[in-house]
Structure 1
Amino acid sequence: MATVVSFVCGLLFGIGLLLSGMANPAKVLGFLDIAGRWNPSLAFVMIGAVAVAAIGFAIARRRDRSLLGLPMQIPASAHITRRLVLGSCAFGVGWGIAGFCPGPALVALGLGSAKASVFVAAMIAGMAVFERLERR
């Protein structure tokens, strides 16, 4: 049952990314171009996503188990570390260069985007390098 619910949630997420334009690198780069031809439309998408997530986390923090009976996995630490800041900066730079972040890149890959295939390959390579460095 958890697999079916996960699939439906992922499908809903992907459809939301398509409808909002988050899977379109040109729209994302237009949003990030605050000094040029800025497109503020994705700000509303992000505000909506943060609002929904805030409600979800508020409910989840009061529960020990999910509606499917699985344990809640909420990060326990709110400490901001150098590693967190550097990782966030790397994520932001990658998003700004490519116009993709992981979720929308996978959606665009499913649509057959060549740019997304290069991004996803680089993302997987980056994760592999991180894993090797982390094991040392």
Structure 2
Amino acid sequence: MKYVSALLIGAVFGLGIAISGMANPAKVLNFFDLAGTWDPSLAFVMIGALAVAMPGYALVFRNRQKPTFEAAFDVPKNRSVDRRLLGGSALFGIGWGIAGFCPGGAIPALGLLDQETALFLIAMTAGIVATRYVLRAQRAATANL
């Protein structure tokens, strides 16, 4: 049931991404083009998502001790705003603005069989792997001091 639940949740998410236009990089890039062909519709998508997610999270965390199919909620323990968070957020935003994709929109868009989407996901995965490698090397270098 855990995997069926995950599949259904992913399908609903992907459908929402497709219906909202978030799987279309041109629509996303127009959202960021304030001085040109600005399209504010994605702001309404984000506001709608927050309007559903915020009370949903509050309801779940208030009424449940643990998720249905896991031993505990997987919530980040580090709540500080530091260089890594700000740098990662900036890189995410720059990448989203350049490519028109965020991971949440690109993964469902892969179902459209577009080569640019596949290339974006390959590049994103390479970036994640490279970052993990660099961070592991930095930790090892710091430990050896």
Scaled to the shorter chain, the TM-score interval is over 0.9
CA contact (8 A) 1:17 1:104 kept: yes
1:97 Cα deviation after fit? 0.3
1:73-104 deviation digits (Å, cap 9, x = unpaired): 22233211111010000000000000000121
Alignment partners' CA distance in 1, 2:75 and 2:85: 17
2:10 equivalent in structure 1: 10
What is the percentage of aligned positions where both structures have the same residue?
A: 49
2:142 equivalent in structure 1: none
CA RMSD of aligned residues (A): 1.3
1:20 equivalent in structure 2: 20
1:96 equivalent in structure 2: 97
1:108-133 deviation digits (Å, cap 9, x = unpaired): 22211111011001001001101211
Give the TM-score of the pair, scaled to structure 1: 0.93
1:21 Cα deviation after fit? 0.2
Give the TM-score of the pair, scaled to structure 2: 0.87
Larger Rg belongs to: 2
Q: Residues 83 and 69 (structure 1 numbering): CA distance in 2 closer, same or farther, change over 3 Å?
A: closer
Residue 38 (structure 1) aligned with residue 38 (structure 2)? yes
Aligned pairs for 1:1-136 within 5 A: 1-62=1-62, 63-68=64-69, 70-136=71-137
Alignment partners' CA distance in 1, 2:92 and 2:125: 14
Tell me which amino acid in the other structure corresponds to 1:89: A
- Between Structure 1 and Structure 2, how many residues are aligned? 136
Matched position secondary structure for 2:95:
helix
Unaligned runs of 5+ in 2: 138-145
1:72 Cα deviation after fit? 1.2
